[in-house]
Amino acid sequence: FKTAPAELFAAKPQLVPAAKCSPMAGCCCTSSHGDAGYEMQMPHMPFVGHATQVFTGTIGMSDGEIGPNFNMITHSALLHSGQWSDGLFDLCSDWKTTLCAFFCTPLLTYSMLRKSGTVKFAFGDLDKTKWLGIFLLLVLAMVAVYYVGGVGPSYTYMNVPDANGRSVPISICLGTVVILLLLWLLSFSVLKGIRDKFLVVEADWWTCLKSCCFVAPNVVGVSCMPCAYAQASRHVDRLQGW
């Protein structure tokens, strides 16, 4: 609590019979006053002028995995800070996580969900097993669309020359677009779920932007997603003691 109203300090405690002392009416503290069974009751009033979140226990310990370096003070401090433990581009602080985020994002995602436990997303709870099932299903759907030659109308977005100098169109079909959008939604759900579970204050539009992957006309990927996943993974590791 940061501040307390002056009325709290001016208020005088009242002795009331124990049977009439209700937690709903005020804050009671047990006191012995002979055989009458009296308790001390303070008037019920707020301590702060703005909303303050109350924590009951720790977060991520009941269903997540705790590492050998877990520290309760660090865990609580990170929860109360309302921020990521470091910046989006602090990639040099953990090279192993950074390399995994850029070259094996699914493995890092599974590891994050294993350590953090179940998170919330648009369609209910999401844990490592459910995420893995959805991800593999989308990958198989992508492979199936490729082998059948596309599903739905196609859009040619560029032409590249082959070995004989002939122009070969590069196109993308509607089925592929739908699968890519679902993969992005899954990516966004993981980041948002971890963000909300560990009480990080961040706008949805920024989390959405960080989970996107843009493709320029020259087929060069421009994405913050690996950086965002590395940031979230470092945060979970520090919270859970890994």
Global pTM value: 0.69
Distance separating alpha carbons of residues 92 and 139, to the nearest angstrom: 31
* Structure-token pair, residue 81: 């800070």
From the number of C-beta atoms within 10 Å of its C-beta (0-12, 13-18, 19+), residue 147 rates as exposed
Does residue 234 contact residue 95 with C-beta atoms inside 8 Å?
A: no
pLDDT tens, position by position, 10-34? 444 444 444 444 443 444 444 334 4
Considering only residues 49 and 115, tell me which one the structure prediction assigns the higher pLDDT: 115
pLDDT tens, position by position, 100-112? 999 999 999 999 9
Averaged pLDDT of the chain: 77
Does residue 171 contact residue 157 with C-beta atoms inside 8 Å?
A: yes
Distance separating alpha carbons of residues 159 and 137, to the nearest angstrom: 30
